[in-house]
Structure 1
Amino acid sequence: MIEVLALLIAAHALADYPLQGDFLARAKNQSAPLPGVPWYQALGAHSAIHAGFVGVITNSVWLGLAEFAAHWVIDYEKSAGRLSFNQDQFLHLFCKLAWTVLFVLLVAEDL
């Protein structure tokens, strides 16, 4: 369980910082979109990167899809000004804990 959680947290740091980059960080913001760049495509791409990591680490498409949805909503709310940076990061890390618990309860027994 600790290994899965550690990998999910490390993957989150990788996907939210170097793999996001300046372009995606700015382009995914629906409140201040980049001209000519559909914000929902950028937010979808960013969420898909996170979902891919979760899906590969847990070997679960369902947990990957849950991560996609959660990451999309959390980042959308942050861009709308309803969440602070710290609240955003807390919620993302809370999701990683939830995916770990679900992995242990549901997925690991099938491996």
Structure 2
Amino acid sequence: MSDPRNHVFICTSPIKHYIHCPGEKYAWIEKHLGYDFLDQIILTRDKTVVTGDSSVCSKYLTVRLIYKQPNPSWEHILFTACHNKHILPSSSHRRLLSWADDWRGILENKRL
């Protein structure tokens, strides 16, 4: 969030039938990212209606299967998680194995 050229938002989907989920997401973001990030939260069940350059997400290709916009404005970057480790990387999708990967390079690439 320190780079003025980037506008970083946390776009997250709450669990549908769990009333405490939104509050717990806010608490997690405040604890791990800081109070200032609370103004950067977008809570939505359909992330494809949010515009942007990139979306780092651990869901694989669900964008085309369950969301309203089959071609969102952003590039989906797969973030490795326990439930998607078995999926092999493809040449058409970028992947982050962890936050230690060059995610800053991805943002720089988007600015070119």
TM-score by length of 2: 0.30
Higher helix share: 1
Higher strand share: 2
Higher relative contact order (CA 8 A, sep 6+): 1
TM-score by length of 1: 0.31
